[in-house]
């Protein structure tokens, strides 16, 4: 075609309105009114994803291999692997190939005939009334891929294949290739538009594939998207028409046909589709959020149902809690340092350790000691149990490099199994362990029997109290141990300080005491030693500190050393931590077993000691195993001070033990200090009511906010953000 002929053709195209600005018709609802009215899908479901994959492959490879030429629409061909297609992927294409050819011909014919883009777009929709919106778009995109792919295929091989060379000449490719560099900006714009067309197409398909059981028309985001997809479909196919028109015009009218108006039209369509894809993604994200909540609620209810039914083994339960699929190895073996499946846990007693990554080194060391002792001493057939750490992290928080290192550090210190990565533990599982097993960031140890039934909702307390003697860590074993237990000094110090156990065997008097007031400690030790000397009793003393305020406790230990006070002390903070952890575990073990009645002497004494400790200071006087007084620091000190004036003669007549207790009780009845308990938000099973161990009346419930600056308190409150569904 000579230049005069090309100019006439250009004028005809412009006159026909092919290059009509995208914004010329601003009201989208008017644009799609006819299309929506005639949209009448016949109900046949087409899986267009395989067809879209083929189309994407064509668009990715539609590029020149020569240096400096334009890149493909979806990326560089250098990084694309060859694909092979199985019959299932081409079934849809076989059913729809004739329709794709017709659309391709329709676009070429109307483009060369000068028909405007809107009319051509509506004509394509007229051909596709029986198809759903996602199918319409993919078919139109496949039709464009035929034209676009053929153009670039000839461009790539015309200098190597005679047939391709002859066809390329017919399509004026040699002259186009001569101007490839100058045409590159235009092709880049064209490729940008094709790229966003594919993005919109995938988004529409994703809306179509949303599971109907979780998303309905009453969901605002879904309804908005449902009404907006016809508009998105129109502008996507309108953009496909514009792209196809560019290639058709180029191969029929020559490279001179590209004008600034063409570039402006493509850029306008890019802007339009970007707004569309942003809007669709927002709606899609809202829909996915709604679906996620529905699926999480369903999974949560499934977990509840699962634990209410009998099973032949524990695998269903473990898969539901840890990881349900078989595509990865979900566990990490702390011995072999390799990933493994859930199979080693089949038909075994499984101890599930739930905790955050803040689990302390002290806890891990003691837990490992108990774990190894239980494995070694349990009978052969009964030792079929395993421990699994299930890390619980805030599902809404970002997984940072720091958290990754912290997790790996904790995991490497464990000799048992652990979940490979915290992300395997879904939000429904966190809901479940919070609501059913009262997990609130403090470690809990749930015991499952070989059939997946819960043997104990939290065995960590009996582990801390009795160690490996609590094996097999069931609730029935916990009850049996409490039936055998009495209020004795071994209960408080067993497994912590062997020297105290030796004193017990020797029948010595023993003062355990604690507090955070250095002056009281100094005066108490001196008074106790003075009275012991006066009564000639063998007295040993140990400073045990407090359950918190580590820095203050260390200062008092420094005072004991500096002033050479005649008392023992626990220099290792881990011993102090374990003493108070065991004592708190005694309380929670009783609460878990609902052994809270006023006639339970052990329970009342535990409550007294925990209460006195929170009020500043405490004392425990024992003779051998027998605990004589479990009391308040101030009252105990006053009892010692009044020895000479009040109860010295009584001690001479009836002995130190009886005299001290009688006078302590008298002083205590006058002073009558208040009792107070503090339950951390992270403790889990906080009782709804508690009776005072002194007066046996119900205690008032208060909410306290406390900040202790000398200790690290890193208590996550994410539990409140993942509240399980109420329905």
Q: Where is average pLDDT lowest: 30-34, 172-176, 609-613, 717-721? A: 717-721
Residue 484 is predicted with a pLDDT of 93
Q: Which numeric CATH code is attached to 314-476?
A: 3.40.30.10
Average pLDDT, stretch 16-22?
39
The more confidently predicted of residues 93 and 121 is: 121
Average pLDDT, stretch 253-268?
70
Residue 721 is predicted with a pLDDT of 41
Residue 392 is predicted with a pLDDT of 94
Answer whether residue 720 shows pLDDT above 60.
Answer: no
Q: Please, which residues have CB within 8 angstroms of residue 68's CB and are 6 or more apart in sequence?
A: 180, 181, 184
Average pLDDT, stretch 190-211?
92
Task: Report the run of H or E that residue 569 belongs to, with start and end.
Answer: strand 568-569
Answer whether residue 15 shows pLDDT above 50.
Answer: no
Residue 712 is predicted with a pLDDT of 46
Q: Which two tokens stand for residue 384?
A: 């079929």
Q: Which neighbouring-strand residues pair with 340? A: 331
The more confidently predicted of residues 32 and 411 is: 411
What's the pLDDT tens digit per position in 63-110? 643 334 444 454 444 455 566 555 555 666 777 888 999 999 998 888
Q: Where are the beta strands (DSSP E) in 23-144?
A: none
Rounded to an integer, what distance in angstroms lies between the CA atom of residue 155 and that of residue 176? 9
Q: Please, which residues have CB within 8 angstroms of residue 349's CB and are 6 or more apart in sequence?
A: 384, 385, 386, 447, 448, 449, 450, 455, 472, 473
Residue 294 contacts residue 211 (beta carbons within 8 Å): no
Residue 11 is predicted with a pLDDT of 41
Q: Where is average pLDDT lowest: 169-173, 360-364, 455-459, 664-668? A: 169-173
Same fold yes or no, 314-476 and 489-671: yes
What's the pLDDT tens digit per position in 480-529? 999 999 999 999 998 899 999 999 999 999 999 998 899 999 999 999 99
Q: With bands split at pLDDT 50, 70 and 90, how would you rate the model's confidence at 643?
A: very high
- How far lies 412's CA from each of 281, 344, 407, 409, 588, in Å? 41, 19, 9, 5, 30
Residue 436 contacts residue 338 (beta carbons within 8 Å): no
Residue 477 contacts residue 483 (beta carbons within 8 Å): no
Average pLDDT, stretch 192-218?
90
| Cis peptide preceding 137, ω within 30 of 0 | no
Residue 23 is predicted with a pLDDT of 42
Maximum distance among all alpha carbons in the chain?
Answer: 135
| Strands 331-333 and 454-456, bridge-based pairing | unpaired
Residue 245 is predicted with a pLDDT of 87
Residue 142 is predicted with a pLDDT of 93
What value does the mean pLDDT of the chain take?
Answer: 83
What's the pLDDT tens digit per position in 475-487? 999 999 999 999 9
In degrees and rounded to multiples of 5, residue 364 shows phi and psi of -65, -40
What's the pLDDT tens digit per position in 538-555? 999 999 988 887 888 999
Q: With bands split at pLDDT 50, 70 and 90, how would you rate the model's confidence at 714?
A: very low
Answer whether residue 171 shows pLDDT above 90.
Answer: no
Which fold does the domain 489-671 belong to in CATH?
A: Glutaredoxin (3.40.30)
Q: Judging by beta carbons within 10 Å of its beta carbon (0-12, 13-18, 19+), is residue 449 exposed, middle or buried?
A: middle
Q: Where is average pLDDT lowest: 349-358, 360-369, 589-598, 642-651? A: 589-598
- How far lies 548's CA from each of 269, 484, 497, 509, in Å? 66, 31, 20, 27
What's the pLDDT tens digit per position in 283-313? 999 999 999 889 999 999 999 999 999 999 9
Answer whether residue 190 shows pLDDT above 60.
Answer: yes
> In the chain, what are the domain boundaries?
33-59+91-293, 314-476, 489-671
Residue 248 is predicted with a pLDDT of 80
* Short-list 242, 303, 224, 278, CA closest to 118: 242
Residue 598 is predicted with a pLDDT of 67
Answer whether residue 688 shows pLDDT above 90.
Answer: no
Answer whether residue 582 shows pLDDT above 60.
Answer: yes
Residue 64 is predicted with a pLDDT of 47
Residue 377 is predicted with a pLDDT of 65
Answer whether residue 423 shows pLDDT above 80.
Answer: yes
Residue 380 is predicted with a pLDDT of 54
Task: Report the run of H or E that residue 452 belongs to, with start and end.
Answer: none
Q: Over 598-664, what HEC string results? A: CCCHHHHHHHHHHHHHHCCEEEEEEECCEEEEEEEHHHHHHHHHCHHHHHHHHHHHHCHHHHHHHHH
Residue 680 is predicted with a pLDDT of 59
Answer whether residue 659 shows pLDDT above 80.
Answer: yes
Q: Give me the half-sphere count of Cα atoms (radius 13 Å) on the Cβ side of residue 97.
A: 5
Residue 1 is predicted with a pLDDT of 44
Answer whether residue 16 shows pLDDT above 60.
Answer: no
Residue 228 contacts residue 286 (beta carbons within 8 Å): no
Residue 112 is predicted with a pLDDT of 80
Answer whether residue 114 shows pLDDT above 50.
Answer: yes
């Amino acid at each position: 075609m000579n230049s005069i002929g090309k100019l006439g053709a250009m004028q005809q195209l412009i006159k026909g309105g092919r290059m009509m600005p995208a914004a010329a018709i601003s009201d989208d609802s008017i644009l799609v009114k006819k299309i929506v009215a005639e949209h009448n899908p016949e109900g046949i479901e087409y899986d267009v994803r395989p067809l879209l994959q083929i189309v994407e492959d064509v668009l990715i490879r539609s590029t020149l291999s020569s240096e400096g030429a334009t890149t493909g629409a979806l990326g560089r061909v250098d990084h694309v692997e060859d694909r092979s297609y199985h019959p299932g992927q081409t079934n849809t294409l076989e059913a729809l190939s004739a329709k794709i050819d017709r659309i391709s011909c329709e676009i070429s014919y109307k483009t060369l005939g000068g028909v405007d883009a809107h009319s051509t777009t509506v004509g394509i929709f007229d051909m596709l009334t029986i198809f759903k919106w996602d199918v319409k778009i993919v078919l139109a995109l496949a039709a464009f891929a035929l034209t676009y792919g053929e153009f670039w295929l000839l461009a790539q091989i015309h200098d190597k294949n005679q047939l391709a060379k002859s066809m390329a000449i017919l399509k004026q490719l040699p002259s186009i290739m001569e101007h490839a560099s100058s045409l590159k900006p235009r092709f880049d714009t064209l490729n940008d538009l094709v790229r966003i067309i594919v993005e919109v197409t995938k988004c529409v398909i994703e809306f179509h594939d949303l599971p109907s059981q979780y998303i309905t028309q009453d969901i605002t985001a879904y309804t908005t998207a449902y009404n907006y997809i016809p508009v998105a479909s129109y502008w996507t196919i309108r953009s496909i028409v514009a792209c196809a028109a560019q290639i058709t015009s180029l191969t029929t009218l020559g490279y001179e046909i590209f004008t600034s108006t063409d570039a402006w039209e493509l850029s306008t369509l890019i802007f339009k589709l970007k707004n569309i894809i942003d809007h669709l993604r927002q709606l899609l994200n809202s829909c996915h959020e709604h679906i996620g909540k529905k699926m999480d609620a369903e999974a949560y209810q499934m977990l509840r149902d699962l634990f209410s039914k009998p099973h032949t083994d524990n695998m269903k339960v473990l898969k539901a809690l840890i990881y349900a699929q078989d595509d990865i190895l979900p566990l990490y073996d702390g011995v072999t340092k390799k990933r493994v499946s859930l199979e080693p846990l089949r038909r075994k007693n499984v101890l599930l350790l739930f905790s955050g990554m803040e689990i302390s080194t002290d806890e891990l060391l003691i837990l490992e000691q108990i774990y190894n002792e239980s494995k070694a001493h349990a009978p052969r057939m009964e030792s079929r149990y395993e421990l699994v750490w299930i890390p619980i992290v805030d599902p809404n928080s970002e997984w940072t490099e720091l958290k990754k290192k912290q997790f790996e550090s904790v995991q490497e210190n464990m000799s048992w199994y652990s979940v490979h990565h915290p992300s395997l533990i879904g939000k429904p599982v966190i809901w479940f362990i919070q609501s059913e097993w009262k997990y609130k960031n403090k470690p809990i140890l749930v015991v499952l029997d070989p059939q997946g039934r819960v043997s104990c909702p939290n065995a960590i307390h009996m582990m801390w109290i009795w160690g490996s003697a609590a094996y097999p860590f069931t609730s029935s074993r916990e009850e049996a141990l409490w039936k055998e237990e009495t209020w004795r000094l071994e209960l408080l110090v067993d497994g912590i300080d062997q020297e105290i156990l030796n004193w017990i065997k020797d029948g010595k008097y023993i003062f355990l005491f604690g507090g955070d007031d250095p002056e009281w400690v100094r005066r108490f030790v001196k008074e106790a030693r003075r009275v012991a000397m006066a009564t000639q009793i063998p007295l040993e003393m140990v400073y045990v500190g407090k359950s918190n305020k580590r820095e203050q406790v260390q200062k008092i230990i420094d005072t004991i050393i500096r002033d050479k006070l005649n008392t023992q002390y626990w220099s290792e903070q881990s011993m102090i931590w374990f003493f108070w952890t065991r004592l708190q575990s005694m309380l929670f073990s009783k609460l878990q077993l609902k052994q809270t009645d006023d006639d339970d002497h052990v329970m009342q004494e535990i409550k007294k000691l925990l209460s006195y400790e929170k009020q500043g200071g405490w004392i425990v006087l024992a003779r051998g195993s027998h605990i004589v007084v479990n009391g308040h620091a101030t009252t105990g000190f006053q009892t010692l001070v009044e020895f000479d004036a009040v109860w010295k003669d009584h001690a001479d007549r009836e002995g130190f033990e009886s005299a001290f207790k009688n006078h302590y009780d008298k002083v205590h009845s006058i002073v009558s200090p208040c009792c107070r308990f503090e339950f951390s938000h992270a403790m889990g099973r906080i009782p709804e009511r508690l009776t005072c161990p002194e007066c046996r009346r119900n205690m008032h419930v208060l909410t306290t906010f406390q900040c202790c600056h000398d200790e690290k308190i890193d208590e996550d409150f994410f539990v409140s953000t993942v509240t399980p569904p109420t329905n």
